[in-house]
Chains A and B, each alone.
Chain A
């Protein structure tokens, strides 16, 4: 069974940092692109970032570029999102999402971890 479990969310002050983790199981992690997606309270979805299978290609939404860094540790079956210089509008649920192998897209989602940026 494919599982993605996010952790690391919490309350952080504006300007602070947080590192999210996503531990996966039930599939060969190293064979898949991975994504992070955010949903602000009561609002729509924002694609945040993606990383390719060997970590050599990363892409970011304009709103997080230069502040967030996606990475992966295939030995630990873990995806990361390092978030720096956090702002109030970074508040939301962060989902870890597996890339679809057959063609560009996604398939499985985690349940998310909540990040609140507030003083």
Chain B
């Protein structure tokens, strides 16, 4: 069974930069895993931020960016704002079966 791993928690200061990563138990994450990233705040449905590694939706703030980094998918937040405090999930495609990571709780402090 494929396992997707994210940092359980990260803390960042307002205005700072933080990178969240997403690793696969099957090996390096590549573009054919089509990494997606989601933000979820308490009591709300998740919101899609990034699809297919780097692509943003019209509502995705410019301070969010997606990439591949050292065999992992990565979500970088630059110029972090207090409202970015949330849970973040990655989603990877394994030949038609998609698997979420366990999520990263991002604290802005």
* Interface residues in chain A, defined as those with a beta carbon under 8 Å from any beta carbon in chain B: 35, 37, 44-47, 50, 57, 59-62, 95, 100, 102-112
Q: Distance (Å) between the CB of A115 and the closest chain B CB? A: 15
- Cβ < 8 Å to A, chain B residues 12-62: 34, 36, 38, 40, 45-48, 50-52, 55, 57
- What are 8 A-to-B residue pairs whose CB atoms are below 8 Å? A44-B89, A45-B103, A46-B100, A47-B91, A61-B99, A102-B52, A103-B55, A106-B51
A104 to B94, CA, bound (A): 12
What residues of chain B lie closer than 8 Å to A35, measured between beta carbons?
98
Quick one: which of B34, B45, B55 has the most chain A CB within 10 A? B45
A103–B52 touching, CB < 8 Å:
yes
- Cβ < 8 Å to A, chain B residues 52-90: 52, 55, 57, 87, 89
Q: Distance (Å) between the CB of A97 and the closest chain B CB? A: 8
A45–B89 touching, CB < 8 Å:
yes
A95–B99 touching, CB < 8 Å:
no
